[in-house]
């Protein structure tokens, strides 16, 4: 999902901190990754372990330009875990894996610099 592809766009309107806290962003570890069959745009089908509080969740991510499925097993990524599930073709995506477009508009997944516990919430 792209909210904006323009790095020079102005900041969004201000919101209250309480509204921001309603978005539950957690860290999880990718435990499965494979091409998402039947997707209109190339994507990977991910299973991400968010620890005992959230559990393992499925996600569709359009990240094939930078990531091979076998190379991202064990990678920690950030995701929104409290959006409603979304049907992507025949696949039900349960969380929104977060990323940013690079200079070529290809998505780079958002990941911590150092290991953190699965399920850690953005502070």
Q: What is the pLDDT of residues 55-98, one digit of tens each?
A: 999 999 999 999 999 999 999 999 999 999 999 889 999 999 99
Buried b or exposed e, range 63-80, using 16+ CB within 10 angstroms = bbeebebeebeeebbbbb
Where residue 98 sits, what CATH number does that domain have? 2.40.50.140
Percent over 70 (pLDDT), the chain? 96
pLDDT band for 29, please (50, 70, 90 cuts). very high
30, part of any domain: yes
Q: What is the pLDDT of residues 92-106, one digit of tens each?
A: 999 999 999 999 999
Buried b or exposed e, range 50-61, using 16+ CB within 10 angstroms = beeebeebbbbb
Q: Can you give the pLDDT at residue 1?
A: 43
84, part of any domain: yes
18, part of any domain: no
Higher-confidence residue: 5 or 11?
11
94, part of any domain: yes
Q: How many domains does the chain have?
A: 1
Q: Which domain holds residue 32?
A: 25-109
Q: Can you give the pLDDT at residue 65?
A: 97
pTM: 0.92
45, part of any domain: yes
Alpha-carbon span 69 to 104, nearest angstrom: 21
């Amino acid at each position: 999902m792209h909210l904006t592809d323009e790095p020079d766009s102005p900041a969004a309107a201000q919101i209250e901190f309480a509204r921001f806290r309603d978005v539950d962003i957690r860290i999880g570890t990718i435990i499965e990754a494979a091409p998402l069959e039947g997707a209109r745009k190339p994507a990977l089908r991910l299973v991400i372990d968010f620890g005992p509080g959230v559990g393992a969740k499925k996600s569709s991510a359009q990240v094939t330009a930078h990531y091979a499925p076998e190379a991202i097993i064990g990678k920690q990524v950030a995701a929104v875990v409290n959006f409603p599930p979304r049907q992507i073709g025949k696949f039900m995506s349960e969380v929104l894996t977060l990323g940013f477009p690079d200079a070529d508009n290809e998505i780079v997944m958002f990941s911590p610099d150092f290991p953190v516990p699965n399920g850690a919430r953005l502070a």
